[in-house]
Amino acid sequence: MDLGVTILVWMAAAAGTIVLGLAFRWVDRLVTARVQWRVGPPWYQPGADILKLMGKETLMPTTARGTGFLLAPLVAVAASTVAAAILWRAVLSPQSTFLGDLIVVIYLLTIPAIMTIAGASASGSPHASFGAAREIKLLLSYELPMVIAMMTAVARTGWSLRLGGILEAQAQAPVVLSVSGAIAMVVAILCMQAKLGLVPFDMAEAECEIMSGVYVEYSGPSLAMFLVSNAMLLALLPLLIIVVFWGGLNTGAWWGWLTFAGKYVLLVALATLIRNTNPRLRIDQAVRFFWFYLTPLAILAAALAIVGEARGISWL
């Protein structure tokens, strides 16, 4: 595929993901408001927030390293857009994906977190430093169960690291319709919650404790860029889970798009529900949770998947 077409695909995927992400942000805020007996914002509120921030001036603390501080949010958005292009292309035309793109997507989706850490470190604020230290520990803790869960799906789909191959193998039955697949998907959903920085895993931001931690010194357009990047993750991570565990988009039937949208909204609503019904964990509690509870669970899923695959037991 030549570069022109690639750029077009990329721009469409990026724009679509941003719009979708902001829409999901609205869903998230609306459900939260309803849980708290409030009316909630109108549908355009997340977009309006971004536009408002874009019009504000940029503030930079005296302690900051300017280039890194201002570049970090841009890199975060740029990496998310590339991940969006790869994922959407896999959803819409599974044949055209390249070898090992699952690994590429997993790595690209860590870049926003890395850039949050980099920007926070570059701001020179002690609050941000605490936030950065928590964010990197959180990244370490969820990465392990997340990768094991993904590999479980890889085991169930004929050992392919290609998103297209994973989707094609799920044409009959999605991964989640097996014991190992279901366990792995639960693990992946909890990891998604941490990757999105939502309660109970929002210790890196912790508004009332370290004053938004990693974002404390960000304002105006730079903050807007981080919000865009977060909104994109809100659209991309459920999409990744749908692709890897839940069969992706089944366009063969007329209800394909409908079920796809249903899965999507269900995952986002689930994340919102978890965030509204749980208190924030401490970072050490989060590390223990992911390493000592979720990781063994994920290993169990992986072991079941390998046994199932070796013995030809499709439900295991």
Of 111-170, binders to other proteins (CB under 8 A) are 111, 114, 117-118, 121-127, 129-130, 132-133, 136-137, 139-140, 143-144, 147-148, 151, 154-155, 159, 161
First-to-last CA distance in the chain? 39
From the CB of 153, what's the least distance to other proteins, in Å? 11
From the CB of 287, what's the least distance to other proteins, in Å? 6
Cβ–Cβ < 8 Å for 121, 61: no
Length of the chain (residues): 316
Per CB under 8 A, the segment of 31-39, 40-48, 106-114, 235-243 that binds other proteins is 106-114
Residues touching other proteins: how many (CB under 8 A)? 84
CA separation for the pair 135, 195 (Å, rounded): 9
CA separation for the pair 69, 83 (Å, rounded): 23
From the CB of 248, what's the least distance to other proteins, in Å? 19
Nearer to other proteins, 242 or 286 (CB): 286
Nearer to other proteins, 20 or 27 (CB): 20
Token pair for 158: 């004929």
CA separation for the pair 13, 179 (Å, rounded): 33
Kindly give the interhelix angle for 3-35 and 45-54, rounded to the nearest 10 degrees.
120
Looking at residues 281 to 300 of the shown chain, list those that interact with other proteins (rule: CB under 8 A).
283-284, 287-288, 291-292
Nearer to other proteins, 7 or 273 (CB): 7
Nearer to other proteins, 284 or 315 (CB): 284
Looking at residues 74 to 103 of the shown chain, list those that interact with other proteins (rule: CB under 8 A).
74-75, 77-79, 81-82, 85, 98-101, 103
Among the listed residues 225, 236, 240, 268, the single contact to other proteins using CB under 8 A: 225
Nearer to other proteins, 143 or 276 (CB): 143
Nearer to other proteins, 121 or 170 (CB): 121
Cβ–Cβ < 8 Å for 10, 81: yes
Looking at residues 189 to 218 of the shown chain, list those that interact with other proteins (rule: CB under 8 A).
211, 216-217
Looking at residues 227 to 256 of the shown chain, list those that interact with other proteins (rule: CB under 8 A).
none
Cβ–Cβ < 8 Å for 123, 59: no
Alpha helices in 197-292 (DSSP H): 207-210, 220-245, 256-276, 283-288
Looking at residues 6 to 65 of the shown chain, list those that interact with other proteins (rule: CB under 8 A).
6-7, 10, 14, 54-55, 57-65
CA separation for the pair 316, 304 (Å, rounded): 6
Nearer to other proteins, 96 or 278 (CB): 96
CB atoms under 10 Å from CB of 134, counted, come to: 26
Kindly give the interhelix angle for 220-245 and 101-123, rounded to the nearest 10 degrees.
150
